[in-house]
């Protein structure tokens, strides 16, 4: 019985709001079931932390009845749950894949907590989470990791196992949590299900990832702030324009709506993300995932969405969809100020957020390489039209906004390119003598492949605002912010084709507060 296929999207939104409200019982409260198998096999997660609350997530799995099931949650100050500070009941409804989103409020600021779920006679694994310090408070330290791109068939998730030992306050996930592909050349392992096209397909692909114990461990270790890139829907899609790859789909807006719903069902994000637009995702309405959160006076964290609202890529060869490498000399639209990567509403929101003042560090978690990267060695230029280079006027508007509001110590964190790139954010990338106005750390992938370092020395020489790059190693970055400086450590694993692999430091960098200059340490 597939109730969700006959429900209209508006009803799904209403359900999401209702089920996420703490204590909502609905009609089927306390309808208990005996589970034939352990229902918490996908683990637990927490996310979207504020100074007084956090979203707790789980999803019931197994041969479940097609009706709402009551799930209790508990938050405690100790891991044995002897001091429970809050508890409540949510409904896990089949229309939302029996997922649970409990939006807990009223917690103390700047505190670690433990949480778990109870359904019938089953108890979930215990997760650990934290609230952020209040925006006004002085804070000594913030440790976060940034990560992206975990193509399942390209390798094992050992990076997450190592990250779980990094003593982090929060994880920024910057996109490509799943990929929609059936498999790849030289696959390390082959996912079931073929091309990911329908709601059921997307749900199954998320469940496949969440079955990985290393990923579960990292979700249970601290809260996450989660954004997405293209592969949560389709390679290189742009707004409501399809990207490339796979069988043609008649209604792309419907495919995107299914993908967005499955994302919601599997991520510790607020129901308001799904429900902001009541007209319905299927008609192309917004799923608002960009957000801002202060970590005391130390950091202003802004999580961006560069995929949902963007204009399509320009100057692809005739008949080609998705992305291409483009010589801007042959592309009249290249610098068209009418084009946007973030959408004008999100641009305005950034501008207003920066205008309202900030913290010591202005940190952007966004999807891709921010700095200009010319791919043609020697005279002439060649840019990838899917990244910020393909939306240069939009990039200029963002750097101008940073300067106009004197944003303190801007730090761009990114992903998408499956390579580590470390560099300076320039006031004008076309002018090598222009000021550095911030720094950038674009991360490698958890597993997804890249091209290798063969021409790296020339690539770096061509783009001197970057001080370091590596296109061979997989892993993640850790940034430790203090009032005085930040230190970024690039952590890389030995070999993603093996489940059991070591981690090491590839390189580390420091930036002093007040000086947009990267020092290698």
Binding site for Fe ion (CB under 5 A): 149, 176, 448
We find the least distance from the C-beta atom of residue 229 to Fe ion, in angstroms, to be 6
Contact 252, 322 (CB under 8 A): no
CB of 416: closest distance to Fe ion in angstroms? Answer: 6
Beta pairing, strands 224-226 & 170-173: parallel
286's tokens: 């917004």
Query: How many C-beta atoms surround the C-beta of residue 121 within 10 A?
Result: 9
149 vs 225, beta carbon nearer Fe ion: 149
Task: Reduce the DSSP state of residue 254 to 3 states and report it.
Answer: helix
Quote the least distance from Cβ 418 to Fe ion, whole Å.
6
Report the nearest approach of Fe ion to the CB of residue 179 (Å): 7
C-beta of 366 vs 448, nearer to Fe ion: 448
Class of residue 72 by CB neighbours under 10 A (exposed 0-12, middle 13-18, buried 19+): middle
The residue among 43, 96, 84, 39 whose CA lies nearest residue 64 is: 39
Give the nearer residue to Fe ion in terms of CB position, either 40 or 179. Answer: 179
Shortest CB 234 distance to Fe ion, Å: 12
Residues in the chain: 521
- In the bound state with Fe ion, the residue whose beta carbon lies nearer, of 232 and 311, is 232
For tokens 């006004």, the residue is 136
CB of 195 vs Fe ion, minimal distance in Å: 17
CB contact set of 334 (below 8 Å; sequence gap of 6+)? 314, 315, 326, 328, 390, 392
Nearer to Fe ion, 148 or 300 (CB): 148
Q: Pull the structure tokens for residue 339.
A: 């084009």
Cβ closest to Fe ion, residue 55 vs residue 492: 492
Residue 323 Cβ, how far from Fe ion at the closest point, in Å?
A: 12
Return d(Cα 17, Cα 280) in angstroms, integer: 14
For every residue of 273-319, DSSP letters joined together read HHHS-TT-GGGT------EEEEETTTEEEEE--SSSSPPPP--PPTT
Cα–Cα distance between 30 and 345 in angstroms, integer? 42
What secondary structure, in 3-state letters, does 74-90 show? EEECCCCCCCEEEEEEE
* Separation between Cα atoms, residue 351 and residue 353, nearest integer Å: 5
Residue 199 main-chain phi, psi, to 5 deg: -55, -45
State how far the Cα of 489 lies from the Cα of 27, in Å rounded to an integer: 50
Q: Any idea of the CA torsion for 253, 257, 260, 262, to the nearest 10 degrees?
A: -140
Question: Among residues 450 and 501, whose Cβ is nearest to Fe ion?
Answer: 450
Q: How far is the CB of 231 from Fe ion (least distance, A)?
A: 6
Closer of 236 and 440 to Fe ion (Cβ): 236
Query: In whole angstroms, how close is the CB of 150 to Fe ion at the nearest point?
Result: 8
> What are the tokens at 260?
């967005």
Q: Which is nearer to Fe ion, 80 or 186 (CB)?
A: 186
């Amino acid at each position: 019985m597939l109730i969700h296929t006959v429900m209209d999207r508006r009803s799904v939104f209403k359900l999401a709001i209702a089920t996420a409200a703490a204590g909502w019982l609905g009609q089927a409260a306390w309808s208990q079931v005996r589970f034939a198998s352990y229902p918490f096999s996908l683990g637990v997660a927490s996310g979207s932390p504020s100074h007084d609350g956090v979203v707790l997530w789980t999803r019931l799995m197994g041969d479940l009845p097609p009706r709402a099931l009551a799930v209790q949650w508990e938050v405690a100050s100790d891991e044995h749950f002897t001091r429970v500070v809050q508890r409540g009941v949510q409904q896990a409804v089949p229309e939302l894949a029996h997922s649970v989103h409990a939006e807990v409020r009223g917690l103390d600021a700047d505190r670690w907590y433990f949480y778990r779920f109870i359904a019938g006679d089953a108890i979930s694994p215990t997760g650990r989470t934290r609230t952020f310090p209040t925006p006004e408070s002085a804070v000594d330290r913030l440790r976060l990791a940034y990560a992206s791109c975990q193509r399942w068939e390209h390798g094992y998730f050992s990076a997450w196992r190592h990250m779980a030992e990094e003593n982090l306050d929060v994880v920024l996930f910057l996109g490509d949590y799943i990929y929609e592909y059936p498999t790849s050349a030289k696959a390390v392992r082959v996912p079931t299900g073929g091309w990911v096209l329908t709601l059921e397909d997307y749900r199954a692909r998320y469940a496949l990832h969440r079955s990985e114990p290393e990923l579960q461990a990292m979700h249970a270790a601290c809260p996450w702030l989660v954004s997405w890139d293209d592969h949560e829907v389709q390679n290189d899609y742009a707004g409501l324009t399809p990207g490339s790859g796979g069988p043609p789909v008649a209604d792309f807006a419907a495919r995107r709506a299914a993908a967005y719903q499955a994302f919601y069902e599997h991520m510790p994000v607020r129901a308001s993300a799904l429900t902001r637009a009541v007209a319905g995702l299927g008609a192309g309405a917004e799923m608002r995932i960009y957000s801002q959160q202060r970590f005391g006076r130390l950091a202003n964290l802004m999580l961006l969405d560069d995929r949902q609202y963007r204009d399509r890529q320009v100057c692809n060869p005739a008949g080609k969809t998705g992305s291409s490498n483009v010589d801007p000399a042959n592309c009249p639209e290249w610098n068209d100020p009418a084009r946007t990567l973030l959408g004008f509403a999100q641009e305005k929101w950034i501008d207003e957020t920066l205008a309202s003042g900030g913290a010591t560090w202005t940190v952007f978690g966004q999807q891709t390489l921010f700095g200009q990267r010319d791919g043609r060695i020697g005279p002439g230029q060649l840019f990838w039209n899917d990244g910020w280079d393909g939306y240069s006027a939009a990039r200029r508007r963002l750097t101008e906004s940073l300067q106009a509001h004197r944003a303190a110590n801007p730090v761009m964190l990114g992903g998408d390119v499956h390579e580590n790139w470390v560099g300076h954010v320039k006031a004008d990338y076309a002018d090598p003598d222009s000021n550095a106005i911030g720094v950038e750390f674009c991360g490698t992938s958890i597993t997804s492949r890249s091209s290798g370092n063969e021409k790296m020395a020339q690539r770096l020489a061509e783009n001197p605002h970057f001080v370091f790059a590596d296109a061979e190693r997989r892993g993640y970055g850790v940034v430790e912010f203090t009032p005085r400086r930040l230190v970024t450590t690039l952590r890389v694993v030995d070999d993603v084709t093996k489940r059991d692999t070591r981690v090491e430091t590839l390189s580390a960098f420091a930036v002093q507060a007040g000086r947009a200059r990267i020092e290698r340490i």
